[in-house]
Structure 1
Amino acid sequence: MDIDDILKDFERQANQSTSSSNFENQLRQEDLQKLQQSWISERSSPEILPYEIELLERILLRLKEKIEFIEYNSIELQKTKDIKLKLMIIESEVQRINFLIRNYLRTRLYKIDNFTIYIHNTDEELKKLAPTELEYMERHFEILVELYNKQFLLKLPEALRPLDDNSGGINMVPEPNLSTSVFFKVANDINEIITIGDEHIELTNNGIYLMSYKLIRPLVMTGNVFLI
């Protein structure tokens, strides 16, 4: 192999490495955009949405790698100043990602707290929770039952003790208000027409609309529209 062949081989390897790095960076940016959109949708939705388990697993794994990189290279700060700027940039990115994850999870826990009994009694809602969220919800439900029994339920007639009582046409279980109006943006060409009374609204790609959540709920679940 002469020098030209060696240089060509080195250039080919460098291009492959650069291409792979660019692809990974693109995936990371796409995941961060998905995380931000999941957080916004969760905050805007009246009900709890399915937990983005695969997305969170990928992001948390990368976050762990970044933190390990910072911890390892912080030792070198005493020897060289070249890495300081790089570490500051990485730390800023870690803080930004942490903010999104914490707020995403806090929003979900807030809904679990508010709709504990409803979620506990609805199989469809239980499937939306992560294993840790399910454990939290079950414990919260046990605490609620214990508290209500001690405070007043045991003093009532047995027929009035169920927490999910809906006799007399009054539902005692707090539920999400699916009639809440929400802003949303169409993410795909879905050729969907929403009928409101005598009016027919065609949803177009990238169009922004305001209407009742229950009308576009199936589209939210399939990812064809996202809340804003």
Structure 2
Amino acid sequence: MDFDDILKEFEASKRPGHNEDELRAEDLQRLSTAWINERMVPELLPYENELIDRVLIRIRKQVEQIELNSIELQTHEKEIKLRLVVVESELDRVQFLIRSYTRTRLQKIDKYSLYIRSNDTESAKLSNNELTYMERHLELLLELYNSQFLKNLPESLQAIDETGGGVSMIEEPDLDRPVFVKALADNVVDVDDEEVELTTNGIYVLRYRAVMDLVKVGDVRVL
């Protein structure tokens, strides 16, 4: 594929009626939604494995094609260079979304590692790489705690995942935290044993616990 073909492919992505282009645009929208949801909700959401894989494959292909063909550009080809800047800007935007999405998830994994590790449902939300990261992070953290102060405490006080005595040392997401949401379909949710009707395109402030299931199926979008 030469550079003109790359530009044609990029320009075609801006026109409707192309299945591959429609899929690319749809994936970008899904990525944006996943990023916003992950940043705004208190819990760790399931990892978008298939979506991220498809986006990363496209990024790698476009970067390789640009690198291979950009060396053929001549200094007087200003129009082509301008289009190249547009293509690279689009790639930068997608890469930013993926990096921010990943950083947000890692921050939650760091914060709720003990909770995630002790709950099979939560652990299933992690990708393989995230699971490896969490286990290694916990291992290093425990080594640090033991070397700094835990070894000097009585054995009965050395646990960092104690849940007895009515006080849990395992930090969990605050599912009662309020969130702004936009209803994408009509629904009814329970808030303090009262039913609240959600109207399509309506915007609400509700406890996350009341809409968490709707967020995961896409009937509600977090703002």
**TM-score when normalising by structure 1:** 0.85
Report the counterpart of residue 101 of structure 1 in structure 2.
98
Call closer, same or farther: CA 1:35–1:196 in 2, change over 3 Å.
same
Report the more deviating stretch, 36-45 or 116-125.
116-125
1:87 matched residue in structure 2: 84
**Secondary structure, counterpart of 1:83 in structure 2:** helix
Answer whether contact 2:175 2:207 (CA < 8 A) is retained: yes
State how many pairs are aligned: 210
CA distance in 1, matches of 2:120, 2:91: 36
CA RMSD, 1 decimal: 2.1
Residue 169 of structure 1 aligns to which amino acid in structure 2? Answer: G
Aligned structure 1 segments of 4 or more residues deviating by more than 3 angstroms = 17-21
**Cα distance, 1:222 vs structure 2:** 2.1
* Kept in 1: contact 2:39–2:104 (CA 8 A): yes
| Superposition TM-score, scaled by structure 2 size | 0.87
Partners of 2:192 and 2:104 in 1: CA distance: 33
Measured against aligned partners, the alpha-carbon deviations of 1:5-28 in whole angstroms (never above 9, x if no partner) come to xxxxxxxxxxxx999972222111
CA distance in 2, matches of 1:198, 1:52: 32
Residue 83 (structure 1) shift: 2.5
Bigger shift: residues 142-151 or 50-59? 142-151
In structure 2, what is the Cα distance between the partners aligned to 1:93 and 1:20? 18
Structure whose residues are more often helix by fraction: 1
Give the counterpart of 1:117 among 95, 110, 114.
114
Q: Percent identity?
A: 49
Rounded to whole Å, the distance in 1 between the matches of 2:84 and 2:213 is 43
Partner residue of 2:34 out of 29, 38, 53: 38
What are structure 2's unaligned runs of at least 5 residues? 1-11
215-224 or 130-139: which moved more? 215-224
1:56 and 2:52 equivalent?
Answer: yes
Larger-Rg structure:
1
Using the TM superposition, name which of 111-120 and 154-163 deviates more.
Answer: 154-163
Instruction: Give the unaligned 5+ runs of structure 1.
Output: 1-16
1:141-152 alignment to 2 at 5 Å? 141-152=138-149
